[in-house]
Amino acid sequence: MKTSIIPIFIPHIGCLHRCVFCNQWRITGHHGIPSAEDVTSLIQDYTKHVQEKRHWEVAFYGGSFTAIPEEMQERLLKPAHQALLNGTIHGIRCSTRPDCITSPILDRLRFYGMSIVELGVQSMDDTVLQFSKRGHTAEQVLEATQLLKKCGFTVGHQLMPGLPGEDWHSLRETTLKICELKPDIARIYPVAVIENTELAAMYRQGAYIPLSIHEGVCRAAYMKQAFIEHGISCIRTGLQATKDLDDDTQVLAGAYAPAMGEMVDTKRYQMQLFKLLDKLSGESVVISYHRSDTSRVIGYHNVTRKRAACKYKQHIRWCEKKNIQPGNVIVQTILRTYRLDMNANQVYEV
């Protein structure tokens, strides 16, 4: 059954700090504080004309939900809880800070039917967190994750490769620590420099060098591949495109692209495929895959097929086949057949 999100945006509400990268009004395209009536109305608007069965979830995004006043939390949660009880929706989730998770807070969330909590982790490097003015530590991420799991919540981690002070060593360490904590889900948002943020001022002053789109794709692909291999579902890569984010006067630099998710999957598949093709020099090759994997295998805008044609001298044929399991790619030469399990990053001779 398809899962559909009913987003309730609370930009900057409850935030204890102003992070150097953050302008939630630009990122979400929303302003102001929603009322209980707004929540009820949004649930009705999203669900009333949909005929097929869906798994509906109300999601409180954009601020630090568990840090807003208790009375406001309850005011927003009550209409969502009522919709949950009457079967209009099937789940409630929120995003918040790692240092705003306690047992009493989680008791309140459970009382109102919430089951998924996403933490704005961003990095597991305390130096990067400090430079970004996050106001929490990596240790608090660990503690919050453990408490959420103990209380039976589905746990999400949101990461931001490319923050000030991060290098590849830092990124690898963050990735390793997240894999050890093993949240249920993850989102990866390579850093974009957004107007009216401290990061924008740092960029103009030359104090911050942003990632290029290519660098953002490479770092996000590394993280996503590692998460998938450790059983962590990566449910989003890159910021959701909005009118504001597509305005180059608002996104000044950095790794923002509307098709970031497709570009990251292209990179993941291409690296694994080329690693095998490098060993098959001179042999004609047939590359087969399930139709659902076509864009990942041949690449966003056909980039992998084009690069393969330039990189390798042998003839390469690309084929969709129904009998191949999604996530697997079959590479055949005259003498050998290989199966690439893209999610496990493994090659098997068959």
Task: Judge whether 254 and 216 are in contact, CB under 8 Å.
Answer: yes
For domain 3-258, give its CATH number from 3.20.20.70, 3.90.226.10, 3.40.50.2300, 3.10.310.10: 3.20.20.70
- Give the N- to C-terminal CA distance of the chain in Å, as an integer: 34
Tens digit of each residue's pLDDT (9 = 90 or more) over 296-323: 999 999 999 999 999 998 899 999 999 9
- Kindly give the residue spans of alpha helices, DSSP state H, lying in the chain: 24-28, 36-47, 70-85, 103-111, 126-131, 138-150, 168-181, 198-205, 213-229, 260-277, 294-298, 303-311
Token pair belonging to 290: 């399930």
pLDDT band at 333 (very low <50, low <70, confident <90, very high): very high
pLDDT band at 31 (very low <50, low <70, confident <90, very high): low
- pLDDT tops 90 at residue 286: yes
Who's near 346: CB < 8 A, 6+ residues apart? 340
Share of the chain above pLDDT 70, in %: 96
Res 248: pLDDT: 78
Sign, CA torsion 26/32/33/36: negative
For range 252-275, the mean pLDDT: 96
Long-range contacts of 218-222 (CB under 8 A, 24+ apart): 218/267, 219/161, 219/162, 219/168, 219/171, 219/190, 219/255, 220/161, 220/188, 220/190, 220/255, 220/260, 220/264, 221/264, 221/265, 221/267, 221/268, 221/271, 222/171, 222/172, 222/175
Token pair belonging to 36: 């209980």
Task: Judge whether 153 and 201 are in contact, CB under 8 Å.
Answer: no
Res 12: pLDDT: 61
Share of the chain above pLDDT 90, in %: 82
Query: Domain residues of the chain, as ranges?
Result: 3-258, 276-349
Res 101: pLDDT: 97
Tens digit of each residue's pLDDT (9 = 90 or more) over 178-205: 999 999 999 999 999 999 899 999 999 9
Of 84, 90, 71, give the one whose Cα is nearest residue 33. 71
CA angle at residue 212 from 208 to 217, to 5 degrees? Answer: 125
Res 24: pLDDT: 59
For range 155-180, the mean pLDDT: 98
Tens digit of each residue's pLDDT (9 = 90 or more) over 146-156: 999 999 999 99
Q: What single string gives the DSSP state of each residue in 183-195?
A: -SEEEE---EEES
Res 15: pLDDT: 66
Task: Judge whether 338 and 330 are in contact, CB under 8 Å.
Answer: yes
Res 62: pLDDT: 77
Lowest mean pLDDT among 14-23, 53-62, 127-136, 293-302: 14-23
- pLDDT tops 60 at residue 105: yes
Task: Say which residue, 18 or 211, is predicted with more confidence.
Answer: 211
Res 32: pLDDT: 65
Rounded Cα–Cα distance for residues 152 and 90 (Å): 17
In this structure, what DSSP letter does residue 137 have? Answer: -
Mean of pLDDT over the chain: 93
Res 303: pLDDT: 97
CA angle at residue 79 from 73 to 81, to 5 degrees? Answer: 85
For range 172-181, the mean pLDDT: 98
Of 81, 71, 84, 93, give the one whose Cα is nearest residue 14. 71
For range 57-83, the mean pLDDT: 93
For range 95-121, the mean pLDDT: 96
- pLDDT tops 60 at residue 25: no
pLDDT band at 16 (very low <50, low <70, confident <90, very high): low
Token pair belonging to 30: 């929303």
